Every structure is written in C-alpha cells, then in structure tokens.
Structure 1
Amino acid sequence: MLTGVLAATLPSTSPAFARQDDLQALLSAPVGVERTAPVSSVPFQTRVRKFYLDASVNGETHEFIFDTGSPTIVSRQLADALGLEIVGRNTGRDANGTPVTMDFAIIDRLTLGDVTFTRVPVLIHDFSGLATGACLIDGGVIGSEILPGSAWRIDAAAGRLEIAESAAALAPLETVLSAPLHDFGYPHAPVLDYALGEIADKALFDTGSEEEVVLFHQVADSRPARAHIVRGSVVTGQGSEGESAGGRSENRELVRFSLEDFRIGETSPGPVRATTRTVPPSLVGAGMMDRFIVTLDYPGAAFTLSPRDAPAPERVEPGFALAFAGEGVEVVQLFEGSPADEAGLRLGDRVTAIDGRALGGHGCEDVHWLMGEYSEADGGALTVERAGETMVIEVPPVR
C-alpha cells in the first residue's frame, strides 16, 4: 500500500508531545506486546489477491488487510469513530511512487487473536477516494510496525497466521530455505537479501504483492539480470502497475518473465515467475506462498520457507486485466500477442458488460463480482465502448 515513509511533521500545539519535539522519538519506541498464550492462531481469507483478517482496535473489531509491505493504516472513518488524536503528519510515497500525505495517531491496543499490541503508531487515510476502496477496505491495513518481537508464520493454504513469542514455540516444519531477515527501523518492514547471478541486492517481503518476485526495473534491465531470464519466457505489454494509496499508476511498459538462479540469501527456491516495477525496492511477494509456508522470525532475524503439503494450482496469465477506473471498468493491462490482444481488445477500452452482465450502477456488488468471482482467464463476451462506438469482443479463455 504505502512504502518509503519520509520525514514527518508535528502540530506544534499537540499536548501529546509536550515533552518531545520530534515524531521520530515516538516511532523509535518499541511497540508493546501482551500474550495470553505462547502461540496465537489467527484465521484469514484470501480475497482479491489480499489477506483479510479480523482485528480489534481499541476494543472495536473490524476487518483489515494484512500487508507486510505497508505501515499500519487506519481508515479515516474508523479513526473518527474511535476519536483518535492526531499527533503528526507524514508525507511518503505509495507503491507507485506517488506522494501521499497522511495523519499520524497512536492506537492504545491492537489485538490479533490472543496477542495485543500496545501503543502502535498508525497512519490515517480516507480509502473512499480510491476507485474500489470503500468496497474492499473496512478498518484499513495492518502492516509491519507490529512485526518485531514475534515470529510470524503465514500459511496461505490453511488460511492461518500464527504469532509466537519465538520460532521455537511454533510447530517444527521442514525448512528448505533460510535467510537473514533485516529490520532497518520504522516501519520495521521485513527485508531480505537476494541474489541473481552476480547481482546482490535487498528485497522487501510484501504480502500486498500477488507476485512471486518483482524486480526494480533498473535491476531487471541490467545485463547480469537479463542473462538469467529463461529463454522464451518473456511477454511484454502496456498498462498500469496497479492501484495504491495515491491511486492507479500511469500506463507504462509491462514485462513478465521467468528467472533461473534467483536466490534468497544463498538458496534458490527454484524457478520463479517475475515482473518489474518502476519504484524501488524489489519485492518477494505473496505468490511465493503458492509453494511455501513463510516464517518471519524477528527475534531470530531469520526468514524461512517450508514446503506446503501441496502447491497451489499453477497460475494462468490471461494477458489482460480489468479494473474500476473513473466511473466504470477499463482494460488497464494488455499484453502483446495474448488471446485478448488478438481478439481486438485495446488498452483503455471501457467494458460495460461481460457475458451480458452489466457493469455499472450496482456499486460494491459489481466490484465484488469483477474482482472476486470473475477471472480474466475465463475471457467471455466483453461489451466495449471505444471512441463513441459500442462493440462486443469475444475473448477466448486461457487455460
């Protein structure tokens, strides 16, 4: 959601800061952790390629997105309902590099399962300004500030997040990859060492990204990186890299490819499918959990991968993507030579119906259907408006 938090400013009259003149002093203070059991298990659901779970904020329970690549962000509506005091303001950049200004507040108690985190600094944002924010985001985003001091095991197959006082308290699992886990201070995002041939760099472990690997484009464009792209695996296109707190990114070149010899720490998880992003850093995303259970061991400073009982079905790349933009649904990504491209679909086409189901006028019902039930891989008869004309384009399914 939001990465690269920058310098913050404080209201000079804030009574909460009568004895300190810098918000950084608050952000550097460790978040408190209260446990009623050595291990707490929190169920989550995967919807629209995000992890949703319930959490209690100052005694009020709401649904949140669990996103290790983001600071914790509370919706403006929830912040107002809780009467949170604004203690500062921050301008940072979202995942697309767009500057976003948000207020800071302090949550007294944030509870996940049997674990309560105290005095948690949070950002406040009005998600209703996003095209689908009001439909997909309730309480906000639970991010990385609360990760230090615990071992976190994320099992996407089971839909279970375990929070333990140490990795030793978790059930033992086979480990196929172990690498150093770095914490460089607020917002305490999980940072990993990765290597690609002779390239050695750092990546953010980001459950907010659905991909296996996302390389910063300057890394991907380098000669050493190109040498490790699997021959014949590259597909290119045009479109938006996605929507973040500041809105949807501008259209740009898109590329997808497979990598060999991609290593986390000193070990390869096997061949990975990757894409690129315009804004650093590189990412290791939630797509890695199609094959592995992830443990973020903050006390032990270790990132580990354990094999799932069975991998998820191999992902299909449909070659195009639809999203809500402005007042309707648009083609926001299109890859060259894909079935959708060859059928005549074009970037920016406004899609008003799919297989006779009208899109528009149904509010969140349309959002949940398009992003939860429909899959671009299924194709369909897309009713398209382009340059004042209406046409039906038959997009074949991709299997």
Structure 2
Amino acid sequence: MIRTNFALGFILVLSFFYACTPSVNQKIYQAGSPALTIFQDTLPFELREGFMVVRARLNDRTMPLDFIWDSGAPVSTISQATREYLGLPKSIKPGTLARLDSLRLSNVSFPSVPVEIIDYDGYAAPKCIAEAGVIGANLIRHCNWYIDFDQQLIIFSDKAQQAQVATPSHTLDFKTTALGQPELKVVTDITGKNKAIAGIGQSGGLCIEAPKLPDAGQMAYDQGIINRFAHTIDTTVIFPDTQVGIGPLSWQGLLTVQRNHASRLGNDLWAQYNVALNFETETISLIARTQAPPPIAPLPQLGWMPHFTPVSELTVGFIIVGSPAWEAGLRMGDVIDQIDRRAAPGWYNDYCAYLSSVQSQFAVPQQMQVFKNGSKQPLNLKVEGTREKP
C-alpha cells in the first residue's frame, strides 16, 4: 500500500453517510454477526491522509481490497469499480443497496453484509485513499476493537472479550445509535452542549452541525480539499484551537461548524492515543501512546489552496474570508495562471500526488505572488508583518 502524508483539519467520511438517515428500515442495513462466535485477531492498517485504511476480501475472492475503516460511517459501502470486480449486476445503481455474501478481515469472516453502492465520478479523493469503499458501523458494531496507532495494528474480538491494554488515561462513555455508531456528548464554549459521532478512523477534528452558522469565527469555502469527500462547495465556520470537553477529557483542537453535515469527531483526537472501542460496555478508552503522535497540519497562513484535476484548470479551491488571499482579491473558482515564478500547469501532473501534497505546500508560505485569469499584474499575498522577499 502506498503511504501518503497526513491531511489537515476536518474531513467527513462520505458526508452522504453522516448527513442522511437511510430511508429504508434500519435493520436492513445491519451486517450479520461474525461466523466465529469466539475469536481474537489482528488487522494491520495504514494512515492515508489521516484516514485508517485496512484490507478486506469480499465474497471469498483472493485479492484484498483497500477500505477506509470508520466507526462513524453508519453504512458500509463499495464503489462501482468494486461492484464490477465482484460481478454484481449492473442493475444495482449508485445509492442503492447490495448485499455481500461475505467480508473477511484477516481470518474473520462477516456474512451477509449490506453495502451502499457509491459512484466516484471523475477525479475523486476516495480513489487515492481507498477506492474499494468504507467499512462502517453496521459491521464494526459486532466486535470490540483496540486500535494501536503506535504499531498501526488493530486487535479485534468478539464482544465478550477485550484486548489486554495498559491503564487508560481517559474513559469516555457513549451510546450506540440505531445504526451502530458510537455517539458522544461534547461541550464547547462556541456551540455549547452537543452530541457527536465518534468517527474513529476518519480524518479531522470536531465538526458540529448547526441550522445557522455562527457570526464569530473564520468563514471558509472548500471544494473537496479539506473535506475530501465533498461533492459541492462547503461553507464552514472555523475555530482553531478550541477547547472541547468530552466527559472527563479536555481536548484542544480544530472546531468547524457546518449546515447539513452531522456532528462528528475524527482522528485529530483519536490518533493522539491508542484507542479501545468496546461496544459491550459502550466505552472508549484512551491509552497513552509510546510514540509521539504525528503533528496536525495547520490551516494555510495565506488562507487559500488550489483545486486541481488533470482535465481542468488550476483554480481557487479553498479560501478563508478575511485572510491575506481574500483581502488580495482571490475568490472561489478563480483560474490561476501562475504562482510565484511557476506556471500553474506545471504545479501538478498527477491527481493523487496533488491531494497528498497540497496542504503541506500551502500551509507554511507567508508570502506569494499569484497571477489569475490572464492578468499580467500579480496579486501580492502576504501575512501582515512578513518581510518582503528579496
């Protein structure tokens, strides 16, 4: 599996899952219990763009496929490419339900697993992270899980067992939703008391759904850069370094407030610890890591990042209102011809390489010249107080 860099901020694992409740009876979405009644096994994982990626075998096929493992996604999914690989009928359209004969993680097989069919149109981030799909709560809820971020290894067992781990630093109580997701109570000074899904395995910090966006904070527009699974431009209010209370735990991280995205808490928190997820006791235990957790990339200091695909122009794909980029005149969708002394077409030639590098490339610079829309005069972007380049 190819290793890529951590991604910044919040990313929703398929906002479709978190925002929408299935219209059919919820029981239809529940996977069968594991074929073994007593078991304990291990499963390696890899962090890609902040997501946990595991390998699974479907319908007794020998080739393992890459899946995002996400305790917060209520429904497991497979892509259209995976449906074709399995030989499932073409009549099963995107957004509809199919049922796998089996899904095998390591040596443990889960029978009769319902999955949503997802169509990743054109260039889409899932193709670079884990093209096969998502393993969600309708399967994860049947086991207890210990996620060792130090070793990048999952130990999972039947619900009567639990991995022997060190004394936890914190133990968080949750309630299992009807769809199998662990739901926590969280408190912030910005949004007050809320409930949020524990999205262990997905990238990002704390996102709170609100019917109205707050007046405070930094408003930002994002076209699938921070939220890699967004299909349209997201409007978000950002609060960096916000104090969040979760039971006995006080955590400081990125808070985002959005409409039409269910509240969730991602790996910005979870990857700071090794994590025991116990559905029998409905607790999440956080165990101190022996290795320093990876740093979380900051928001871009100039307040913007480009959007790119090999079949489109380089455009503004992320921007913070009031940032140096905004004040200089950049707006969403502006075509970028040149950045500093480099023509825009030469910045990237591969979509996945772009996704894995764009945030690190644009997080640090404090000044930049940008030529847009055929203009011969550059926009000069600079963080206030920065000395001019020689």
Task: Please tell me the TM-score bracket, short chain as reference.
Answer: 0.7 to 0.9
In structure 1, which of residues 189, 205, 214 is the aligned counterpart of residue 198 of structure 2? 205
- Report the alpha carbon displacement of residue 220 of structure 1 after superposing the two structures with TM: 7.3
Change (3 A) 1:277 1:200: same
1:1-399 to structure 2, matched below 5 A, reads 1=14, 2-3=16-17, 4-8=20-24, 26-28=28-30, 30-35=31-36, 38-58=39-59, 59=61, 60-70=63-73, 71-84=75-88, 102-166=95-159, 168-186=161-179, 188-196=180-188, 199-207=192-200, 209-218=202-211, 221=214, 235-240=217-222, 242=224, 247-260=230-243, 262-264=244-246, 266-309=247-290, 310-318=292-300, 319-324=303-308, 327-336=312-321, 338-341=323-326, 345-351=330-336, 366-374=350-358, 375=360, 376-379=362-365, 386-389=372-375
- Report the alpha carbon displacement of residue 336 of structure 1 after superposing the two structures with TM: 4.3
Return the letter of the residue paired with 1:386. Answer: K
Structure with greater proportional strand content: 1
- Alignment partners' CA distance in 1, 2:182 and 2:38: 24
- Alignment partners' CA distance in 2, 1:180 and 1:311: 23
C-alpha deviations, 1:354-398, integer Å up to 9, x for none? 6777665999x5222222134121449978563443666676799
TM-score, normalized by length of structure 2? 0.76
Greater mean alpha carbon deviation, residues 245-254 or residues 155-164: 245-254
- Alignment partners' CA distance in 2, 1:337 and 1:356: 25
- Report the alpha carbon displacement of residue 279 of structure 1 after superposing the two structures with TM: 1.9
Greater mean alpha carbon deviation, residues 51-60 or residues 389-398: 389-398
Q: Matched residue of 2:35: which SS?
A: strand
- Alignment partners' CA distance in 1, 2:80 and 2:140: 23
Q: Matched residue of 2:177: which SS?
A: coil
- Alignment partners' CA distance in 2, 1:102 and 1:35: 31
Instruction: Tell me, yes or no, if the aligned pair for 2:145 and 2:162 is still in contact at 8 Å.
Output: no
- Alignment partners' CA distance in 2, 1:347 and 1:156: 36
- Alignment partners' CA distance in 2, 1:336 and 1:149: 44
- Report the alpha carbon displacement of residue 150 of structure 1 after superposing the two structures with TM: 0.9
Aligned length: 358
- Alignment partners' CA distance in 2, 1:137 and 1:391: 41
Change (3 A) 1:78 1:281: closer
Change (3 A) 1:25 1:131: closer
**Structure-2 residue corresponding to 1:96:** none
- Alignment partners' CA distance in 1, 2:173 and 2:90: 36
Change (3 A) 1:346 1:296: same
- Alignment partners' CA distance in 2, 1:331 and 1:84: 39
Between the two structures, name the one with larger relative contact order (CA 8 Å, sep ≥ 6).
2
- Alignment partners' CA distance in 1, 2:77 and 2:99: 11
Change (3 A) 1:149 1:239: same
Identity %: 22
- Alignment partners' CA distance in 2, 1:397 and 1:108: 56
Instruction: Tell me, yes or no, if the aligned pair for 2:213 and 2:258 is still in contact at 8 Å.
Output: no
Q: Matched residue of 1:370: which SS?
A: helix
Greater mean alpha carbon deviation, residues 142-151 or residues 207-216: 207-216
Q: Matched residue of 1:288: which SS?
A: helix
Instruction: Tell me, yes or no, if the aligned pair for 1:202 and 1:281 is still in contact at 8 Å.
Output: no
- Alignment partners' CA distance in 2, 1:321 and 1:335: 10
Instruction: Structure 2: state its 5+ residue gaps.
Output: 1-13, 385-390
TM-score, normalized by length of structure 1? 0.75
Q: Matched residue of 2:350: which SS?
A: helix
C-alpha RMSD of matched pairs (Å): 3.8
C-alpha deviations, 1:7-46, integer Å up to 9, x for none? 14xxxxxxxxxxxxxx655335x52213598432222222
- Alignment partners' CA distance in 2, 1:388 and 1:352: 7
- Report the alpha carbon displacement of residue 206 of structure 1 after superposing the two structures with TM: 1.9
Return the letter of the residue paired with 1:81. Answer: Y
Change (3 A) 1:292 1:200: same
- Alignment partners' CA distance in 1, 2:142 and 2:293: 30
Instruction: Tell me, yes or no, if the aligned pair for 1:383 and 1:390 is still in contact at 8 Å.
Output: no
- Report the alpha carbon displacement of residue 288 of structure 1 after superposing the two structures with TM: 0.4
